[in-house]
Amino acid sequence: DAGVIQSPRHEVTEMGQEVTLRCKPISGHNSLFWYRQTMMRGLELLIYFNNNVPIDDSGMPEDRFSAKMPNASFSTLKIQPSEPRDSAVYFCASSLDSPEQFFGPGTRLTVL
């Protein structure tokens, strides 16, 4: 099993640019979660999907953030425009009818 796949692993961009993070969940899993991790705030849930439908996006910090899940095997998290305070590690996780989540390796985002 390949596990949760995220790309890119590292992203460095300049303030104002659009950033797109990608996630492929474990095959057969029906829930997908996007988290952001910083030293100050720890691991925060941004949004989660169940059967490709967004269920709770209350953690999305502002309208600059958007997420989509067009099918069961792919999701994107987009930041437009990006700001330095968006610098963090972004994790994608998936699960199958269980609260036990399986995390990807993360994308380290640096906004200059």
* Least distance to another protein, CB of residue 86, Å: 19
54 is a contact residue toward another protein (CB under 8 A): no
Give the single-character DSSP code of 40.
T
Of 14, 43, 51, 112, the residue at the interface with another protein (CB under 8 A) is: 43
- State both tokens at 77: 């998290």
CA neighbor of 27 nearest in space, from 54, 1, 53: 1
Q: Which stretch binds another protein (CB under 8 A): 14-22, 61-69, 77-85, 100-108?
A: 100-108
Of 93, 94, 109, 111, the residue at the interface with another protein (CB under 8 A) is: 93
Per-residue binding letters, 55-84, with another protein (x by CB under 8 A) = -x----------------------------
CA neighbor of 95 nearest in space, from 39, 36, 51: 51
Task: Evaluate whether 34 touches 77 at the Cβ level (below 8 Å).
Answer: yes
Between 81 and 105, whose beta carbon lies closer to another protein? Answer: 105
- State both tokens at 63: 């309208």
Q: List beta partners, residue 109.
A: 11, 88
Which amino acid would we find at residue 96? L
Give residues 2-41 in contact with another protein (rule: CB under 8 A): 4, 33, 41
